[in-house]
Structure 1
Amino acid sequence: MQEILNALCDSTRRAALSILWSGGEHCVCELMDRLDTGQSRMSRHMKVLREAGLVTDRRDAQWVRYRRNPDIAPEVIAVIRAVLDAEQALGLEMP
């Protein structure tokens, strides 16, 4: 659980997770555009989320596409939803 909480402590990672939580797959370039961050920084954030087990990735030619991990335990999903919902309710989410 510590790795998950560490992954959620960064606002860019929470914003990326929120996008992925909405469904579908997204490549780093899409996340970079939406979150106004560089490729290297976004890739590092996605690595943290992947290592925490919150997202999965797949290679598609030169792109790496990320999506919500479908195998996350229900209690972890509840924590993530609570964090993302609270952030949105407080108006703290990134664009």
Structure 2
Amino acid sequence: MAEVGNTFPVWERTPGEEVGELDPVTSGLSEQLVQELFAWNVRSHELVFSDAPIENKWDHEKELDQWTREGRSLAKRIEIELGHEIDVNVTYKH
């Protein structure tokens, strides 16, 4: 997964080619999945990289866990839509 915020959170790494953000228009992914990936990435900024104080640590941890599970589900859907011949790797850095 790529940068946080209002960007497409999927990177492409093809042997012999430059690593970079996957183009959502030409990716072959459904429009619905593309929109869900954008929304998921915006949520990452709110949960992980916000400067706002955490009022309830328990609720924050629950939301972060849910966000992580959702990311893994989205990654599985990428694999299904693009075919199992590709490798989808999920990396969270927070």
TM-score category, normalised to shorter length: 0.3 to 0.5
Which protein shows a greater Rg? 2
TM-score scaled by structure 1? Answer: 0.32
Q: Which has the higher contact order (CA 8 A, sep 6+)?
A: 1
**Could you say which structure has the higher strand fraction?**
1
The alignment's TM-score, normalised by the length of structure 2, stands at 0.33
